[in-house]
Chains A and B, each alone.
Chain A
């Protein structure tokens, strides 16, 4: 397929008995911002580690920028840039030296290296920090430096593994501005995150992964509209009867029972539907004790496809099963 910068076919990966990645296929189009979403331990990091050549390819085939990961790993390495999830800066090198080291790793000629370092430092606005050791940078500055480093070799694809984790809101917003700026110059962005709202705002395409499988895939709007137009949360005196009654209404797409209350997705504008639904429930003699109307978010999409919240603590046990460092 022309136009795809990443093609992943039937990728599998196991740690001992634990299957972290279970036969997944996906494609990333050139120039897009592709998001790979899922809870901790879903297999995101494993996939990114395989794609960036840090883990061996066990089963399946991967092509990046036209190169086969198995047979041409060196060309793949030259085609990608990476911003790792945790900080990977040498604290004792300065900003300039960090980039100098990176340029040398990719055997960039001296002139080009110097020129590109200046350009990158300017892009991420670290000009006045260029001789400061990275240990003395703030969290946001470190992140920016890592992005500059990832972009220095002008890769076709930039992998961003949870780029905004641990940053304050303001820094996060700026970080997304940089990322979008970079994307506008033609760099494809491969993003993993578990911040659904951020993915929603910036992504052209989203794949949701859970327990090693891709469970949903689409444009953010498409994914959300698959759920229906609006969502209503209801608490009633008798959830059981309410559930049975609501399922008979044509406007209702789906009703889910939560620990407390019901979650209803409807196919029409909730502003006008909600009063009607409430009136019909009252007619049935069901008392309503709480109500909330909202637009579906990617979190809801995730709950819809997995039956779980993305940040529920149950995900932690999966994280522990994936042996990492």
Chain B
């Protein structure tokens, strides 16, 4: 009963691995991001950074390392926001009729699509991390093997919870839209504020109050906090700002993401309940 989502998951993964082009581009694209944007911005920020003194003995991280966590978060955001688009195609091509007329509970569709999206996000994150380490992102500095494994697990858990929330949102939007163009528009509109009003690319401390408030409401900020905490540590300097996270901060970040995912699930469930596919 509870495993019925596995059917939807199975089909979505089958398609993901079948389309080599999709598979490869989804893995290469974030790596390119990190390589090009990271390398370009890194040299700029390093110039400012060197002018900002760091207290004796404190950990200072390069912009590339700082950005590494941001790229993980942004990639997860994009992949997840577009993850529900297959539902729109299934709906428009009539494939969803087979599913809606079957005894499969509709919640299973939402969860199946959610979990397959999470799987894709996790694969991407593993690729970005490996690639990042290759090009000079300094994650897991001074960690033992055990600590590194735990840190990776922590990152993946944060990524998973964040990702599934946005997949629920994406599924809900896809079910309510008629055309891929419309969906593209809505998602782009949604992406921009999420993207810029967050701490993924730069510190939020210097933001104007309004944008800063926005970024405090942005799930992306909480994901980035989680990833930096696990990948870099609980006390470090980057771009002249001091970052320190308490365990409580991280627990709150996690709970915020979990709450977001829950609300998005309820929204998706409501939309799927009233959806008709003919």
Q: Which residues of A contact B (CB under 8 A)?
A: 45, 49, 52-56, 74, 77-78, 80, 82, 84, 86-90, 92-93, 97, 101-102, 104-107, 149, 324-325
**B246 beta carbon closer than 8 Å to chain A:** no
Given A54-B276, A55-B278, are A105 and B102 neighbors across the interface (CB < 8 Å)? Answer: yes
| Cβ contact within 8 Å between B278 and A77 | no
Chain B residues contacting A97 (CB-CB under 8 Å) are 14
Q: Which residues of A contact B95 (CB under 8 A)?
A: 88-90
Q: How far is the CA of A77 from the CA of B103 in the complex (A)?
A: 6
CB-based contact B94/A82 at 8 Å: no
Contact B7 A105 (CB under 8 A): yes
Q: Does B47 contact A (CB under 8 A)?
A: no
A240 to B100, CA, bound (A): 57
Which chain A residues lie closer than 8 Å to B93 at the CB level? 88
The answer, yes or no, to whether B10 is at the interface (CB within 8 Å) is yes
The reply to whether B278 and A45 form a contact with Cβ atoms under 8 Å apart is yes
Q: How far is the CA of A272 from the CA of B243 in the complex (A)?
A: 104
Main secondary structure of the interface of A (DSSP, over half): loop
Max count, chain B CB within 10 A of own CB: residue among A54, A74, A86, A324: A54
B92 within 8 Å of A by Cβ? Answer: yes
Chain A to chain B: the 7 pairs with minimum beta-carbon distance, closest first: A104-B7, A105-B102, A88-B94, A77-B103, A49-B278, A52-B101, A105-B104
Q: Are A88 and B103 in contact (CB under 8 A)?
A: no
Considering the chains assembled together, what is the distance between the CA atoms of A89 and B11 in angstroms? 13
Which label, helix, strand, loop or mixed, suits the secondary structure of the B interface? helix
Considering only residues 99-150 of chain B, those with a C-beta below 8 Å from chain A are: 99-104
Which chain B residues lie closer than 8 Å to A104 at the CB level? 6-7, 10
User: Contact mask B237-278 → A, CB, 8 Å, 1/0?
Assistant: 000000000000000000000000000000000000000111
The residue in B4, B7, B18 that gathers the most chain A C-beta atoms within 10 A of its C-beta is B7
A92-B18, A93-B14, A325-B278 known; A106 vs B103 contact (CB < 8 Å) = yes
A residues near B92, Cβ cutoff 8 Å = 325
Q: Which of A56, A80, A84, A105 has the most CB of B within 10 A?
A: A105
Q: Write the residues of chain B forming the contact surface with A, with a CB cutoff of 8 angstroms.
A: 4, 6-7, 10-11, 14-15, 18-19, 92-95, 97-104, 276-278
- Docked Cα-Cα span, A324 to B220, in Å, equals 38
Query: How many Å lie between the Cα of A248 and that of B160 in the bound state?
Result: 84
A88 touching B97, Cβ below 8 Å: yes
Chain B hits for A90, CB < 8 A: 11, 15, 95
Contact flag A53-B14 (CB < 8 Å), given A45-B278, A104-B7 = no
Q: Is the beta-carbon distance between A54 and B14 smaller than 8 angstroms? A: no
A101 vs B4: C-alpha distance when bound (angstroms):
11
Chain A's closest residue to B99 (CB) is A105
Nearest CB of chain B from residue A236's CB, rounded to whole Å: 49
A86 lies within 8 A of B14 (CB): no
**B-chain residues with CB within 8 Å of residue A101 when the two chains form the complex:** 7, 10-11
**Is A84 a contact of B97 with CB atoms below 8 Å?**
yes
Can you name 9 extra interface pairs (CB under 8 A) apart from A54-B276, A97-B14, A324-B278? Answer: A54-B277, A55-B276, A77-B103, A84-B94, A88-B93, A104-B7, A105-B99, A105-B103, A325-B92
B97 contacts across to A, CB distance below 8 A: 54, 82, 84, 88
> Which residue of chain B has its CB nearest to the CB of A75?
B103
Residues of B within 8 A of A325 (CB): 92, 94, 278
